[in-house]
Structure 1
Amino acid sequence: MVRILFPPFSVLFFARFSACIVAVLVLIWALHFKTSFISHNPSQEGLIYSVLHPLLMVIGFILISGEAILVHRWLPGSRNLKKLVHLCLQGVALACGVFGIWTKFHGQDGIVANFYSLHSWMGLICVAMFGAQWLFGFMSFWHRGEVRTTRLKVLPWHVFLGLYTYGLAVVTAETGLLEKLTFLQTKGNVLKRCPESAIVNGLGLCLALLSSVVILAAVSPKHQISKSKIVFSDSNYSSR
């Protein structure tokens, strides 16, 4: 008999629920408190790029890549269909991540001036690893001449690196939130106890919750119906 402690539908529900909260919080922060994203050289173009960065990296990169991980848990159909949808969603997430970094480095200060913090270093490494993972998946999906045993050996590493990169993306976002909030509070632009601080801190907590649920859904065993074999005997029914 197979027993599952966490039914797949409940894990998927909590994953989608936490993802919706993350999306709402980052939209409120980026659009309602957009004055916090104005640089020392304010311009309409610079403000748009600054606001697009958290939207693309959180909603476009983290949320979509998380949904791509969950594809194998909820999408019906053949395995090739699931792999194709997974590959397409990861491609959209990669495009959002690359464009999100480009918006950050598109300011008047240039690339070098923005490449100084742990957040920026981790972001570049994360997107580079994500791109390598996507390229491997693309080649593996369209070029199927590899020996099956070789593909089976590589698959666990692909899954591990995929989950590691996803977790690294969440940690990178957390460092970005901490860096931004600390900078605003140090400059006196944001108080330690105010709605914006609460939203940023809540966003960080929800991102941590989301990553834990997505990884749990990815590593938990697939739902199986428990079966028992009924054997007829002259005296009674026995289950074994």
Structure 2
Amino acid sequence: MVTIRLPKPSLFLLARVSGFIVAILVLTWALHFKTSFVPYAPSQEDLIYAVLHPLLMVIGFILISGEAILVHRWLPGSRNLKKSVHLCLQGVALASGIFGIWTKFHSNDGIVGNFYSLHSWMGLLCISLFGTQWLVGFLSFWHRGEARTTRVQVLPWHIFLGLYTYGLAVATAETGLLEKLTFLQTIGNVPRRSTESTVVNGLGLGLALLSGIVILTAISPKYHPSKSKESDIQTSNGYHLS
């Protein structure tokens, strides 16, 4: 059996490019087509909060948490430095996610009025898991009195839940895009064939591509540039295709 592996720098480049495209698309949608958020925003203040919601959840929550996942793969330095940067980035992502959800609850509909769809339920589940994950990670890997054996036992679950929550965040964003676009097309604000529909669909595809690249990079073997190319050519009998 032949295994084909992309060099790790190529994966990092793909992750950064896809993340940049996602950021441009969500900024274009939220700022250029902001009139689409007017039905949810009877006042200027409500409009600002409505526009902030996709920006915070996509750029602040998904993109930054994805970058935090990759820190251990690209950042040089000690393990403590990598863990510090990872924890800080995840903290920024958590704060962005909490504030992003609050912007929806800030509207005149209130909390109950916004807690009706699959998107809202998945969002609350995702931010709850993310917050719990961040707290457990802090206690497990930064509490100096914690036994090493306990940290080793928790690590696989920490990695699994981190990747699961990241995938859940992307899935939640996809349901939000679908819900928003369907609503706008139903009330006639956005035609099915329009520039805005193309931008929103492109944003959904970009998020799906980004999540796949980030997860693949996180679980793939570490890249060692000092190794010769010959050592990277093996098959199931001792060789694989680089």
TM-score by length of 2: 0.91
What is residue 215 of structure 1 aligned with on the other side?
Answer: 215
Q: Aligned runs of 1:216-235 on 2, under 5 Å?
A: 216-224=216-224, 225-226=226-227
Counterpart check, 1:15 vs 2:15? yes
Q: Aligned runs of 1:84-233 on 2, under 5 Å?
A: 84-224=84-224, 225-226=226-227
CA contact (8 A) 1:185 1:192 kept: yes
Question: Deviation of residue 25 (structure 1)?
Answer: 0.2
Once residues 108 and 36 of structure 1 are traced to their aligned partners in structure 2, the CA distance between those partners, rounded to angstroms, is 18
Q: Which runs of 5+ in 1 are unaligned?
A: 229-240
Question: Deviation of residue 4 (structure 1)?
Answer: 7.5
Alpha-carbon displacement from aligned partner over 1:36-58 (angstroms, at most 9, x marks no partner): 11125610001000000000000
Q: 1:173 is aligned with what amino acid?
A: A
Once residues 215 and 11 of structure 2 are traced to their aligned partners in structure 1, the CA distance between those partners, rounded to angstroms, is 10
Structure 1 residues 90, 168: closer, same or farther in 2, change over 3 A?
Answer: same
Question: Deviation of residue 217 (structure 1)?
Answer: 0.5
Name the larger-Rg structure.
1
CA contact (8 A) 1:19 1:63 kept: yes
CA contact (8 A) 2:26 2:55 kept: yes
Question: Deviation of residue 137 (structure 1)?
Answer: 1.4
Counterpart check, 1:24 vs 2:40? no
TM-score by length of 1: 0.91
Question: Deviation of residue 109 (structure 1)?
Answer: 1.1
Structure 1 residues 41, 171: closer, same or farther in 2, change over 3 A?
Answer: closer
Q: 1:170 is aligned with what amino acid?
A: V
Once residues 91 and 55 of structure 2 are traced to their aligned partners in structure 1, the CA distance between those partners, rounded to angstroms, is 17
Q: 2:17 is aligned with what amino acid?
A: F
Structure 1 residues 158, 183: closer, same or farther in 2, change over 3 A?
Answer: same
Identity of aligned residues (%): 75
SS for the counterpart of 1:38 is helix
Q: How many residues align?
A: 227
SS for the counterpart of 2:39 is coil
Question: Which stretch has the larger CA shift, 149-158 or 97-106?
Answer: 149-158
SS for the counterpart of 1:55 is helix
Question: Deviation of residue 144 (structure 1)?
Answer: 2.4
Question: Deviation of residue 138 (structure 1)?
Answer: 1.4
Q: 2:148 is aligned with what amino acid?
A: R
Once residues 107 and 46 of structure 1 are traced to their aligned partners in structure 2, the CA distance between those partners, rounded to angstroms, is 6
Q: RMSD of the TM alignment (CA)?
A: 1.6
Once residues 107 and 218 of structure 2 are traced to their aligned partners in structure 1, the CA distance between those partners, rounded to angstroms, is 38
Once residues 41 and 105 of structure 1 are traced to their aligned partners in structure 2, the CA distance between those partners, rounded to angstroms, is 12
Alpha-carbon displacement from aligned partner over 1:200-240 (angstroms, at most 9, x marks no partner): 00000000000000000100010134479xxxxxxxxxxxx
Alpha-carbon displacement from aligned partner over 1:2-53 (angstroms, at most 9, x marks no partner): x971211100000000000000000000000001111256100010000000
Once residues 66 and 142 of structure 1 are traced to their aligned partners in structure 2, the CA distance between those partners, rounded to angstroms, is 21
CA contact (8 A) 1:38 1:47 kept: yes
CA contact (8 A) 1:68 1:86 kept: yes
Q: Which runs of 5+ in 2 are unaligned?
A: 231-242
